[in-house]
Amino acid sequence: MPSLDCKKLLSGKFISRRNKEKLIESFFLINGVIVIVILAGIFILLVKNALPAFKEVNFAHFFTAPIWNPDAYEQPTYGILPMLASSLMVTLGSLVVAVPLGVGTAAYLSDVASPRVREIAKPAVEVLAGIPSVVVGFLGIVLLGPVLARLTGTYGGLTALNGSVLLAVMALPTIISLSEDALSAVPRSYEEASLALGASRWQTVIKVKIPAAASGILAACMLGMGRAIGETMTVLMATGNSAEFPRGFLGSVKTMTSTIAIELGEVAYYTTHFHMLFAVGLLLFLITFVINLVSDIVFHKHTQVQG
């Protein structure tokens, strides 16, 4: 370890040492700023590639036309509504499954489970998070599809319902681990006060701990929702991809992510259709951006309350 001595100081090396430090700090600063550049870059490139689409297609048409049919023989239509409705439908469907299941599991892990069970269960949740979405989608086709087909009488079982269940599986790890963090962060004194006042353990969990962790749990569910709405492979493989306006959970749907995944491979580059797919991507980016931002604000409110 080099030591600071007077000779070096006098010979001016100290200054160069300081400059070197400045240089190193700037290097890491650039490293940090790159993250902002990447986020901005994604946004700018999406906008740049999406804008040419609106030279040919009316902006209002994009948001109000009820049909997406780029290959129409006479007049192609680019209405986002069917796929937007599909995306929202499968996402909300997945939350109906994933939120109660995820929050329930989180409450179990934080308030019921013995330390030994927790030691097994927590890595298991991480393992679930590590399963690639293409594998989950594959199981949607070969495992869940036939079961749903038998139960609901739909052919093949590739429906919005199938997609919702798979998305729930994808969103569960996020919801469980973040909700559990929020529940564990509730000060012990709250729990003790509640028990001391004669509340049962169950009343304490339901009426004290979950309300105290509510904003953290809400943030967790929103992040899970962001994950679900942006998921591609599972819905692409399991929902059947019918481009019509969604009819219900037993019908086939084509989400925004699936549309991009299917059509970008078939389209000629720099056509209106190509730019339209970037417009869909841009909208998807903005939706997830807002979801993340809101969950961020909710979460910070949560930490402030804790503090």
Ranges within 202-241 binding other proteins (CB under 8 A): 202-203, 205-206, 223, 226-227, 229-233, 236-237
- Spell out, one character per residue from 158 to 197, where the chain touches other proteins: x when CB under 8 A holds, - when not: -----------x--x---x---------------------
6 binds other proteins (CB under 8 A): no
Distance separating alpha carbons of residues 169 and 290, to the nearest angstrom? 23
The torsion region of residue 241 among left (phi > 0), alpha (psi -120 to 50) and beta comes to left
Cβ 75 to other proteins shortest distance, Å = 26
| Residue number, 66 or 207, with CB nearest to other proteins | 207
Distance separating alpha carbons of residues 48 and 5, to the nearest angstrom? 56
| Residue number, 4 or 60, with CB nearest to other proteins | 4
| Residue number, 212 or 275, with CB nearest to other proteins | 275
Element (H, E) at 69: strand 68-69
| Residue number, 57 or 136, with CB nearest to other proteins | 136
Give the range of 51-59, 207-215, 243-251, 273-281 binding other proteins by CB under 8 A: 273-281
Q: Which of residues 140-159 bind other proteins (CB under 8 A)?
A: 141-143
Angle at 248 between CA 242 and CA 249, to 5 degrees: 90
| Residue number, 27 or 73, with CB nearest to other proteins | 27
Give the range of 42-50, 62-70, 188-196, 242-250 binding other proteins by CB under 8 A: 42-50
Q: In the beta sheet, which residues pair with residue 3? A: none
Distance separating alpha carbons of residues 42 and 50, to the nearest angstrom? 12
Distance separating alpha carbons of residues 49 and 301, to the nearest angstrom? 37
Tokens of 253: 């749907």
Cβ 63 to other proteins shortest distance, Å = 19
Name the amino acid, one letter, at 39.
L
| Residue number, 57 or 109, with CB nearest to other proteins | 109
- 62 C-beta neighbours (distance < 10 Å), count: 20
Q: Please give the radius of gyration of the chain, using alpha carbons only, rounded to the nearest integer.
A: 25
Give the range of 71-79, 179-187, 188-196, 286-294 binding other proteins by CB under 8 A: 286-294
Cβ 289 to other proteins shortest distance, Å = 6
269 binds other proteins (CB under 8 A): yes
Return the HEC string of 204-216.
HHHHHHHHHCHHH
Cβ 305 to other proteins shortest distance, Å = 19
Distance separating alpha carbons of residues 75 and 61, to the nearest angstrom? 13
Q: In the beta sheet, which residues pair with residue 68? A: 78
- Strands 68-69, 77-78: pairing is antiparallel
Q: In the beta sheet, which residues pair with residue 77? A: 69
Name which position in 12, 115, 130, 153 contacts other proteins (CB under 8 A): 130
Contact 240, 227 (CB under 8 A): no
Give the range of 32-40, 66-74, 149-157, 244-252 binding other proteins by CB under 8 A: 32-40
Name which position in 77, 184, 272, 292 contacts other proteins (CB under 8 A): 292
| Residue number, 35 or 60, with CB nearest to other proteins | 35
Name which position in 134, 151, 197, 305 contacts other proteins (CB under 8 A): 134
